[in-house]
């Protein structure tokens, strides 16, 4: 593994992953491809622009010609696909781009990766092909649908997505699976729970609440706020992906989660108390349609088979994350302007 194509590497998790890999190992060359949509931000990559092991290319994963050119020029041997439209609320308002980017974009990457398979030089009859490109699809626990009060998602469960976002991610997972089953491509799929940490776009729960709290703005909570998610620090997600890249069994799906279930309202109250603000800021708003009640991840497979474990304790991780947002107000201010303001006002109808 030498030349890794990381897509969506200017977004929240992708940019953290790029830095995680560059910090750990100098043997990798990273080709970071991102279309720089509203969620992509080159400021997330500040400090590594000069790193000779990192090349950023602005490109859309749906652009077959450009992606093919990148594979050929940079001799790509590994793909980690983070690029996606990722916000459930937006997928309700504008589903089409979720389908084109998340499903068709994935298919373009797979198709091109398939073309860069290398013939096994040891097989003189060339009957067997040794795939030369490893492909890892970064997926989400949301593809499983919603749980009741008990139970956990395991990898063998049927996919029952409830939002256009999760349906598009489930569609991508199916295409990835089919390229393994049909062509024997060396793929893995990871399905992670909700991430938190630095550089998360402020439309998502935790940075949104921190940002509003700091400005004394209302904290909009969908429904009764009792929706439960399993929260994982983004650095733990990065280390889990690295484990799957290095040790994952070809064709397998791995759930990633931290056994850390919290309701939305618990998270918001933790932010309020950490920032010393008043719970009067909380404003319950109409629930969003199709809002899944509870997600919980069974991480037995990745912990027992690959030896991965999360390193972050939630309280400490949240404390550091809140501090990061407090110390990086300029980063937030540069985002929370222009188009984002229009989007926010449309969604919540007040500020």
Where in the sequence numbering do the catalytic residues fall? 141-142, 165
- Which tokens hold the place of 56? 């950023």
Of 59-67, 125-133, 151-159, 209-217, which part binds ligand NAD (CB under 6 A)? 59-67
Of the candidate residues 32, 78, 86, 321, the single one contacting ligand NAD (CB under 6 A): 86
Nearer to ligand NAD, 61 or 281 (CB): 61
Of the candidate residues 138, 167, 176, 209, the single one contacting ligand NAD (CB under 6 A): 138
- In angstroms, what is the minimal distance from the CB of 147 to ligand NAD? 16
- Per-residue DSSP letter, 70: H
- Which tokens hold the place of 71? 């594979």
Instruction: Collapse the DSSP code of 56 into the 3-class scheme (helix H, G, I; strand E, B; otherwise coil) and give the result.
Output: strand
- In angstroms, what is the minimal distance from the CB of 305 to ligand NAD? 20
Enumerate residues 1-40 that contact ligand NAD by CB under 6 A.
7-8, 10-14, 34-37, 39-40
The residues near 213 (Cβ < 8 Å, ≥ 6 apart) are: 219, 271, 272, 275, 277, 281
Residue 338 burial (CB count, 10 A): 10
- Per-residue DSSP letter, 149: S
- In angstroms, what is the minimal distance from the CB of 233 to ligand NAD? 11
Nearer to ligand NAD, 8 or 281 (CB): 8
| Cα–Cα distance list, 320 to 241, 312, 323, 332 (Å) | 22, 11, 5, 16
Of the candidate residues 6, 21, 61, 187, the single one contacting ligand NAD (CB under 6 A): 61
Cβ 18 vs Cβ 54: under 8 Å = yes
Of 21-29, 72-80, 192-200, 207-215, which part binds ligand NAD (CB under 6 A)? 192-200
Which helix or strand (DSSP H or E) is residue 48 part of?
none
From CA 64, how far away is CA 111, in angstroms rounded? Answer: 9
Point out which residues bind ligand NAD (CB under 6 A): 7-8, 10-14, 34-37, 39-40, 60-62, 82-86, 101, 105, 138, 140, 169, 192, 194-195, 201
């Amino acid at each position: 593994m030498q030349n890794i194509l990381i897509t969506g590497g200017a977004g929240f998790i992708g940019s953290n992953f790029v830095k995680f890999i560059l910090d750990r190992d100098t043997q990798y060359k990273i080709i970071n491809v991102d279309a720089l949509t509203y969620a992509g931000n080159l400021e997330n990559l500040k400090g590594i622009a000069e790193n000779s092991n990192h090349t950023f290319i602005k490109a859309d994963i749906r652009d077959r010609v450009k992606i093919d050119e990148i594979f050929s020029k940079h001799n790509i041997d590994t793909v980690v696909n983070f690029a996606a439209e990722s916000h459930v609320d937006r997928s309700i308002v504008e589903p089409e781009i979720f389908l084109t980017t998340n499903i068709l974009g994935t298919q373009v990457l797979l198709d091109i990766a398939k073309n860069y398979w290398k013939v096994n030089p040891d097989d003189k009859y060339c009957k067997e092909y040794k795939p030369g490109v490893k492909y890892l699809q970064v997926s989400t626990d949301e593809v499983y649908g919603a749980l009741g009060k008990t139970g956990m998602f395991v990898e063998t469960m049927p996919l029952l997505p409830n939002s256009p976002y999760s349906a598009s991610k489930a569609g991508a997972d199916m295409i990835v699976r089919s390229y393994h089953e049909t062509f024997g491509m060396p793929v893995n799929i990871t399905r992670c729970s909700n991430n938190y940490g630095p550089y998360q776009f402020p439309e998502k729960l935790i940075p949104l609440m921190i940002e509003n709290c700091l400005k004394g703005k209302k904290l909009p909570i969908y429904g009764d706020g009792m929706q439960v998610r399993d929260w994982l620090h983004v650095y733990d997600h990065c280390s889990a992906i690295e484990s799957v890249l290095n040790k994952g069994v070809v064709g397998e799906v791995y759930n990633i989660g931290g056994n850390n279930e919290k309701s939305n309202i618990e998270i918001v109250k933790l932010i309020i108390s950490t920032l010393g603000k008043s719970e009067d800021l909380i404003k319950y708003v109409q629930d969003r349609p199709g809002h899944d009640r509870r997600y919980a991840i069974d991480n037995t497979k990745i912990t027992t088979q690959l030896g991965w474990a999360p390193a972050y304790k939630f309280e400490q991780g949240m404390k550091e994350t809140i501090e990061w947002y407090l110390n990086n107000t300029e980063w937030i201010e540069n985002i929370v302007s222009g188009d984002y303001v229009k989007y926010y006002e449309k969604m919540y109808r007040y500020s």
